[in-house]
Amino acid sequence: MTQATATPVALTIAGSDSSGGAGIQADLKTFTAFAVYGASVLTALTAQNTKGVAAVHPVPASFVRAQIRAVFDDLAVGAVKTGMLANAEVVLAVAGEMGRHPEVPLVVDPVMVSTNGDLLLEADAVSALKSRLLPRADLITPNLPEAASILGGKVAASEAEMVEQGRRLLELGCGAVLIKGGHGVGAAAVDVLVTAAGSTARLESPRIETLNTHGTGCTLSAAIAALLAMGEPLESAVRRAKTYVTRAIDHGREQAIGHGRGPVDHLFAIRTATPPA
């Protein structure tokens, strides 16, 4: 009998997007694009589409905890990413469960506001995020407004300020910080990766003019988690994930899905039969 080959497994702990462009749905599509087996833990149900979020129904923290335990009791999870966590109780539940698995790489996307400006994290949950979950993370991936919100300051207006904010975020205890510059201006979209080991990396891609950017943050953190589950080193995983998202945005310009901010094209590589990154 032929011995089975171990399949990389990535777990997403996030909210559901009923329109399929962000959240759990985007994460699972991204895992599929990288040929990684995707498992999921729901933290909230949202009634949303490309035009905005109409309603949010948080999942009880005890059930979030039960889902995480069920996955880890059976699957060989290679990496975890978190997205929308909704409230302090869920943040604490996730932090507690991930504390039981310190060997598993954790990517925290501190989702606070949707692409359309809808609040996705209750205000009292930010302190729990900072004190309990971020110190456990191997990587956090805030965008410019999220980094400023966590630090209680102004949005970075230059790359130097992004690096400075990244170093301040490292003081919360995480292993690395990727500050995403998609909300910035200019011909290039520049992200900055700062690590606790002292390294700093600049990641640049062309800024693509399109309204179809729904779910880009979820997709990037999911791609990083997928690559970490495959054994990719952190900086390489971040660079490959950014390339994947840039191509997904580029291909997504051709899609006509919804009447608002449409999704990126998560499965472009499958359709075009080219590698994801």
State the catalytic residues.
180, 213, 215-218
Strand partners of residue 263: 214
Which amino acid does the sequence have at 111? V
Residue written as token pair 């702990």: 13
Question: What is the number of other CB atoms lying within 10 angstroms of the CB of residue 37?
Answer: 18
Bridge-partner residues for 42, per DSSP?
A: 14
HSE-CB for 188 with a 13 A CA cutoff: 9
Angle at 107 between CA 162 and CA 63, to 5 degrees: 130
Geometric angle at alpha carbon 118, from 117 and 121, rounded to 5°: 120
User: How would you label 214-244 residue by residue, b for 16+ Cβ within 10 Å and e otherwise?
Assistant: bbbbbbbbbbbbbbbbbebebeebbbbbbbb
Which of 13, 6, 139, 26 is closest to 75 using CA atoms? 6
Token representation of residue 16: 């559901």
Cα separation, 80 vs 27, whole angstroms: 11
